[in-house]
Amino acid sequence: MSREVAIGLLEEKVTTPHIIKHSYAVEAVMRALAKRLGENEDEWGLAGLLHDLDNDLVDWQSDMSLHGPKTIEVLKNSSFGNEEMYNAILAHNAATGKSRDTKFEKALYAADPITGFITAIALVYPDKKLSSVKVKSITKRMKETRFAAGANREAMWSIEELGIDFPDFAELSLNAMREISDKLGL
């Protein structure tokens, strides 16, 4: 599984610019989580990069259960990935019915929404930069249910199932995203 092939798939299948940026952000967070948990950084990162590969291929707005299975179909047809990756991608969307049983599955479930949440926080600052975001701001905004109301807070809090306190997860995620801030435009 090469990152170059994964990027090719992403660029071929996803045309929505914010989903492409989101995919890179989730990749960065997943790599950081894998490093923290002593797991395979490349495999976890690629799952993060490709988890929304079907964004432009299915009408998941009307049937959320389609989101994930179509990605797996594309990956299998491209001979890309493995069962652990497929399971993590399926488990990141509760509507697929796939339970989250492994560290990999739980990590992707938590990593997916935190990237959008941190992006939303950055965008309220005058400079719209990740460098302005503080961990304290992330933890404070988690309590403000009207802020980024669509962000799955339960999924973000679920990181604690992996033995990582939420403030530590917020810091790890923020730092991972800062490392690719140019690519994210933040």
Domains of the chain by start residue, with CATH: 3-184 (1.10.3210)
Both tokens of residue 170? 């917020």
Cβ-Cβ contacts under 8 Å for 111 (sequence gap 6 or more): 26, 29, 30, 33, 48, 173
pLDDT of residue 61: 76
| Interatomic CA distance for residues 159 and 167, integer angstroms | 10
| Interatomic CA distance for residues 172 and 55, integer angstroms | 26
| Interatomic CA distance for residues 182 and 186, integer angstroms | 6
The answer to whether 55 and 30 have CB atoms below 8 angstroms apart is no
pTM, two decimals, is 0.97
Cα–Cα separations (whole angstroms), residue 76 to 24, 73, 152: 21, 5, 28
Single-letter residue type at 70: K
Which residues of the chain carry a pLDDT beneath 70? none
Q: How far is CA 47 from the centre of its chain?
A: 9
Residue ranges of alpha helices (H) inside 51-160 are: 69-77, 83-91, 103-124, 135-142, 153-157
